[in-house]
Amino acid sequence: MATIEITPVEVLALKKLALINGALAQSISGQARIEQTALLRVLVDVLARADLANHAGGARG
């Protein structure tokens, strides 16, 4: 699996994007809401993995 480095500032920006995406998903309906919610789940998963990788990397260094 390829690795991608994400800086703490980028993680923060992605977290803010997730908050905005979540608010958007709550304010719309129909298929658009379903798609925004799916995108939010993917973003949250990526953020969780980035946080884990950053913490694991910090513990080794």
The pLDDT-based confidence of 58 (bands split at 50, 70, 90) is low
Q: Do the Cβ atoms of 40 and 28 come closer than 8 Å?
A: no
Largest CA distance in the chain: 47
Axis crossing angle, helix 8-27 with helix 30-60, rounded to the nearest 10:
160
pLDDT of residue 60: 42
Q: 12-40: per-residue pLDDT in tens?
A: 999 999 999 999 999 999 999 999 999 99
pTM score above 0.75:
no
